[in-house]
Copies of this chain bind each other. A is one copy, B any other.
Amino acid sequence: MCLNVNPGRPGGAYGYVDMGGWIGGQAEYVMVPYADFNLLKFPDKAQAMEKIQDLTCLTDILPTGYHGCINAGVTTGSTVLISGAGPVGLAAAASAKLLGAAVVIVSDFNKDRLAHAASFGCETIDLSRGGTIGEQIEQILKVPEVDCTVDCVGFEAKQKGGEEQPATVLNQLMAVTRAAGRIGIPGLYVTADPGAKDKAAREGSLSLQFGLGWAKSHAFFTGQTPVLRYNRGLMMAILHDRIKIAKAVNTTVITLDAAPQGYADFDKGVARKFVIDPHGSLKKTA
């Protein structure tokens, strides 16, 4: 975890409060701190431009989903539950496939997102249907548990009625992760949520059924993704057609001017990841 890029605390990010004051990555040009150390060089520019929508995903979304799976212990033959079918969840699902998982199950309330997950070979759980998640897993796998779970939702988790309850996903995942299983948590949990309804949530406290996880010897892995640990390998997987990440997260190229509309669509839950192309360079290649 980088201790240098943010004087306030470990780790940094573009365009986030408290993350080092790096003005957002959605701009014509971006300043790269420690660029001699941070950048990944593509072996061949022409080859890279052919897959540039996929390679763009190396900046954040693909390593984040992949890190969630690595932390969850996804490997050859694993059964995996990915909670949330937003871009992180879809990237995690594609990563789980790449890691050799036997069955990848994605859960969400949003039918469009689930349909998209199904389009590249995932099983799906529609959370708006009746029954527990364990029961729905059992219909797919014959057993009510999976080897590995990944929380791609975070503190904005909602209960069935639509009410926000930030501990919902973690509590569900403890219920369905097998004994000695691991829970990868790329989904963001915040130190404070000023707009939350109740005092506990405002202070960033979750009401976690930690004893359930303890009884099953679970391990929990949180935090920002160490992108450098993964990006060369993932680049190679993209360049050699081992993962179709742009298709998995459903990228669409837009101009910089269309970014506000993109944010508005994203907030409505559209199953799409926007790639902003300030100078129209992708249009020429695509």
Q: Tell me the A residues contacting B by CB distance below 8 Å.
A: 1, 3, 9-11, 37, 43-44, 66, 71, 75-79, 98-103, 142, 155, 170, 179-180, 185, 188-193, 200, 203-224, 230, 232-237, 239-240, 242
Contacts of A9 in B (CB 8 A): 179, 215-216
Given contacts A1-B179, A98-B100, A233-B78, contact A220 B223 (CB under 8 A): no
Chain B nearest Cβ from A139, distance in angstroms: 15
- Cβ A102 vs Cβ B205 within 8 A: no
- Cβ A192 vs Cβ B208 within 8 A: no
Assembled-state Cα–Cα distance A213/B230 (Å): 23
Given contacts A180-B10, A180-B223, A206-B207, contact A100 B237 (CB under 8 A): yes
Contacts of A220 in B (CB 8 A): 219-220, 222
Assembled-state Cα–Cα distance A223/B212 (Å): 10
- Cβ B214 vs Cβ A205 within 8 A: no
Q: Top 6 nearest A-B pairs by Cβ distance?
A: A217-B223, A77-B236, A77-B233, A10-B179, A204-B211, A102-B240
Contacts of A217 in B (CB 8 A): 1, 10-11, 222-224
Pick from B190, B200, B204, B233: contact of A75, CB under 8 Å: B233
Chain B nearest Cβ from A181, distance in angstroms: 9
Instruction: Determine which residue in A190, A215, A236 has the highest number of CB atoms from chain B within 10 A of its CB, and name it.
Output: A215
- Cβ A216 vs Cβ B223 within 8 A: yes
Chain B nearest Cβ from A29, distance in angstroms: 25
- Cβ B240 vs Cβ A103 within 8 A: yes
Assembled-state Cα–Cα distance A237/B75 (Å): 10
Contacts of A237 in B (CB 8 A): 76-77, 100, 102
Contacts of A222 in B (CB 8 A): 210, 213-214, 217-220
- Cβ B205 vs Cβ A235 within 8 A: no
- Cβ B3 vs Cβ A179 within 8 A: yes
Assembled-state Cα–Cα distance A11/B218 (Å): 13
Contacts of A43 in B (CB 8 A): 142
Contacts of A209 in B (CB 8 A): 191, 203-206
